[in-house]
């Protein structure tokens, strides 16, 4: 596994958007192909393996991303995979990883669309090390829009009771050093007495199609944790499980669904 400080240094190096010349002036990197950004997932139809990836920089002479692989025993799902490469003038993308899992190198290729929202003909290739047996495969690349806006719907508890929910959410525009995104926002539960004050998001995670968020109300001591998935357009959030700890509703749990009413683009 990469040493975190080494990974940070590598990403910081890639991120340098200006290089000082001998005259003390800065050279601004040129955008070559269509720029890539945001939260992506690469999936293979022949397996349950998913590569969730956040683009840190997408076509300014060099492209870079941080990814995590799930669905395979060859690597832990929390191992960061650093990829660097380019998007050429013909919009062909090639990213090559630093070695991970005892020497595996991952190559990711595809044809970037003109708007930067799609990658056609994508494929991955794992060579050497612990993940080399995954080999080469054609994969589907999905660009997941940011979760931004007002979402309303219902949570349903174990007795079938519906709880109205309105949630204002905003996703970070840039991934963190693990290639993942986070949310900020608040929620209201009209007619529900579990919270003394309007709870706010205190911890969260968005990666690929998956999301998790924790709402906290310090006054009542109520904490609600929700996990689930969302569609590529980020218009529908499917809560596969929510649960409450603390406060008068501790122990309540269930499922839910939220639909966007207005998006902050």
- pLDDT at 17 > cutoff 50: no
Give pLDDT tens digits for 163-188. Answer: 999 999 999 999 999 999 999 999 99
The closest of 105, 61, 101, 103 to 85, measured between CA atoms, is: 61
Domain ranges in the chain are 4-144, 148-262
Contact 256, 160 (CB under 8 A): no
pLDDT recorded at residue 27: 60
Of the listed ranges 144-153, 168-177, 188-197, 211-220, the least confidently predicted one is 188-197
Q: How many CB atoms lie within 10 A of CB 217?
A: 20
Per DSSP (E only), the strands in the chain are 19-20, 26-27, 38-43, 50-60, 62-70, 81-87, 92-97, 105-112, 119-127, 136-138, 140-144, 148-157, 162-171, 183-188, 200-207, 210-217, 222-230, 236-245, 253-262
The model carries a pTM of 0.87
Structurally, at CATH architecture level, domain 148-262 sits in: Beta Barrel (2.40)
Distance, CA of 67 to CA of 90 (rounded, Å) = 24
Q: pLDDT-based confidence at 24, cuts 50/70/90?
A: very low
Residue 197 has pLDDT above 50, yes or no: yes
In this predicted structure, the answer to whether residue 56 has a pLDDT above a threshold of 70 is yes
pLDDT band at 33 (very low <50, low <70, confident <90, very high): confident
Q: Is 210 left (phi over 0), alpha (psi -120 to 50) or beta?
A: beta
**Number of Cβ within a 10 Å radius of residue 231:** 14
| Higher-pLDDT residue of 165, 62 | 165
pLDDT of 7 higher than 60 = no
**Distance separating alpha carbons of residues 24 and 140, to the nearest angstrom:** 45
């Amino acid at each position: 596994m990469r040493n975190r400080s080494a990974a940070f240094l590598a990403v910081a190096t890639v991120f340098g958007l200006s290089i000082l010349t001998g005259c003390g002036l800065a050279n601004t990197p040129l955008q070559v192909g269509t720029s890539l950004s945001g939260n992506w997932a690469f999936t293979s139809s022949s397996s349950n393996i998913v590569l969730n990836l956040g683009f840190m920089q997408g076509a300014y002479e060099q492209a870079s991303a941080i990814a995590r692989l799930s669905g395979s025993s060859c690597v832990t799902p929390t191992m960061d995979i650093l990829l660097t490469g380019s998007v050429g003038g013909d919009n062909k993308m090639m990213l090559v990883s630093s070695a991970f899992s005892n020497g595996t190198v991952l190559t990711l290729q595809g044809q970037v669309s003109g708007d930067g929202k799609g990658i056609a003909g994508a494929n991955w290739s794992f060579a050497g090390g612990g993940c080399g047996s995954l080999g080469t495969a054609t994969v589907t690349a999905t660009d997941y829009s940011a979760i931004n806006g007002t979402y309303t719907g219902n949570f349903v508890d174990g007795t079938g009771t519906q709880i109205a929910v309105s949630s204002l959410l905003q996703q970070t525009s840039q991934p963190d050093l693990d290639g993942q995104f986070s949310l900020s926002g608040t929620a209201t539960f009209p007619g529900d007495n579990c919270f003394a004050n309007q709870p706010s998001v205190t911890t969260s995670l968005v990666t690929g199609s998956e999301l998790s968020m924790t709402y906290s109300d310090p006054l009542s001591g109520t904490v609600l944790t929700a996990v689930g998935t969302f569609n590529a357009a980020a218009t529908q959030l499917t809560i596969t499980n929510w649960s409450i700890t603390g406060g008068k509703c501790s122990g309540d749990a269930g499922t839910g669904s939220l639909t966007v009413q207005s998006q902050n683009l």
